[in-house]
Amino acid sequence: MTPTTDDAQRLIAARVALTQQIDRGSVVLSSRLAGAFLNVPRHPFVPVFYRRHDERFLPWRRSDGDAEAWLDAVYADDSLITEVAGIHAEDAAPEGLPGVPTSSSTAPSLMADMLDALDVNEGDEVYEAGTGTGYNAGILCFLAGDRHVTTVDRTSALTDKARPRLGSVGFTPRVVHGDAARDFPGDATYDRIIATASVRRVPPAWLARLRPGGIMVVPLKGALAGGMVARLTKLPDGTAAGHVLHTPAAFMPLRSGPEQPAPAALVPDGPRTDAEVSSRVLDDWTFSFFAELHLPPGLVRTYGTNDEGLHVTTLYDPADGSAARIDDVPEGPPQVTSTGPRDLWGPVESAHRLWRELQRPRREWFLIEVTPTEQSLRYTAPDGRVHRWPLPPAAGAGPRA
C-alpha cells in the first residue's frame, strides 16, 4: 500500500527524531553517519517484533491497534526482540510464547557507536557477520555502496527476510546464508569487518580475510552480561591491534560450528564457606568485563533469588564438572558452596581485589592484540606495570605481568 503524505511525513519525522536522539547521547555523529540514519528507515526491517508481557513475549505489528505507539517503539533508541527460542516474531501466534530471545535489532545508538569506530568509506569492501533484520546492513550499504557489502547469517529465515527488505529500500548487497565465522565468498578480502553477534575470541578467518590497514569491530563476550566491543586494525605483519570501546555490549552469541545442546547447570550441595563479596558484583557492568578475563571459556552462569528472596548465582564448568553456588544471606557474609576439582568462585574474588587495586580501570583503557595463534587483552597501570590476559583465559589463569 502506498503511504499517504501524512504517513510519509510522520516516518521522516521519526527518523529525524531518532538521529537527534543518538546524537544527544554518547555518540557524536559524523555528517555521513547521520545521513545514513536519516535516509535508511528502520521500520521495513522490523515489521513485527516482540514485547514482553509477564513471562511471555507477544508479537507486535503496526496493525495491532495503536500504530502511533508501534512507530514510537520502532524509532526509539532501544533494541527490539525479533526472535524468541528460534521463533521469529512474524511466525509467532498472537498469544506469543515463553522462552529466551535469540535475535534482536540492536539499539541504534550502539549501532552508531560501532559504525563510527568502523569508519566505513564509500567503496570499502565490507563483511558483516550476523545479518539479523538487515537494518545494520542497510546502513552499511548507504555508507559503502551496496555492491561492496556482504552480510552473512546462519539462520536462513533471517537472510530470506532481510534480502527483500533491503531491496525494498533500494539496496542489493550480497546476502549469504552460512556460518559467519567461516564462510567467505571465494578468496575475497575486506577493508572492514563488523560483527553484530558476540564471540569469545576473534575467529581466525576474520583476521585472515581483513586487508592490511583494514578495521574490524567485534563484540567479545562470555558467560556474563557486560561484554566488550573491540576495534582492531590489521597490521602489515598479519597481526591486529586496537582498543576496547567505552560502551558495554551484551550481544547474543554468534552461532558457529556444530550445534551443541546447552549444558544444564549443576547446583552443588554441601558445606558452605564465607565469600568476600556478593555474586551481585557480576551484574555490575563496570566489573563484569574484567571478571570475564578470569573465568573458564565454557562457564555457564545462572542467577536469581534463593528461598529467602535473596540473590544467588550458580557457576558451572561442563568441562570438568566444577560448580559453585553463592548465596546472599540475611546477615553476615555471602555463602559459597563448591563441588568438583576446581574452585570457580575464588578467581572471581581475586579478580575483584585486583580490579579494586588497579582503581577500577574502565574497559576503554584496555588494549587488545590478536595474532594467528594468540589473543590477549592488555592494561598498563599508572605505575607502568603491564598486565595481560589471554582470550579466552585458561582455567584459573591470572594476569601475566
In terms of DSSP H, where are the helices of 132-261? 135-144, 156-168, 204-209
Q: What is the mean pLDDT of residues 333-355?
A: 95
Q: What is the pLDDT of residue 297?
A: 84
Q: What is the mean pLDDT of residues 64-93?
A: 91
> pLDDT for 1-23, tens place per residue?
455 566 888 999 999 999 999 98
- From the list 104, 278, 338, 376, the catalytic residue is 104
Asked, for residue 255, whether it belongs to a domain, the answer is no
Indicate whether 171 pLDDT > 90.
yes
Asked, for residue 345, whether it belongs to a domain, the answer is yes
Asked, for residue 364, whether it belongs to a domain, the answer is yes
**Residues paired with 273 in a beta bridge:** 336
Domain holding 288, by residue range, is 264-401
Q: Are 377 and 242 in contact (CB under 8 A)?
A: no
Q: Is 235 helix (H, G, I), strand (E, B) or coil?
A: coil
Segment (H or E) for 114: helix 108-118
Count up the domains in the chain and report the number. 1
Asked, for residue 200, whether it belongs to a domain, the answer is no
Q: What is the mean pLDDT of residues 61-76?
A: 90
Q: What is the mean pLDDT of residues 127-141?
A: 96
Work out the pLDDT band at 394, boundaries 50, 70, 90.
very low
Instruction: Note the pTM of the prediction, 2 decimals.
Output: 0.91
Indicate whether 370 pLDDT > 90.
yes
**Tally of CB atoms within 10 A around 200:** 18
> pLDDT for 77-91, tens place per residue?
999 999 998 899 999
Asked, for residue 204, whether it belongs to a domain, the answer is no
Work out the pLDDT band at 393, boundaries 50, 70, 90.
very low
Mean pLDDT, all residues of the chain: 90
Q: Closest Cα partner for 301 from 286, 284, 288, 317? A: 317
Asked, for residue 272, whether it belongs to a domain, the answer is yes
How far is 225 from 256, CA to CA, in rounded Å? Answer: 20
Asked, for residue 332, whether it belongs to a domain, the answer is yes
What percent of the chain is predicted at pLDDT more than 70? Answer: 94
Examine the residue annotation and report whether 104 is marked as an active-site residue of this protein. yes
Lowest mean pLDDT among 106-110, 189-193, 221-225, 318-322: 221-225
Asked, for residue 156, whether it belongs to a domain, the answer is no
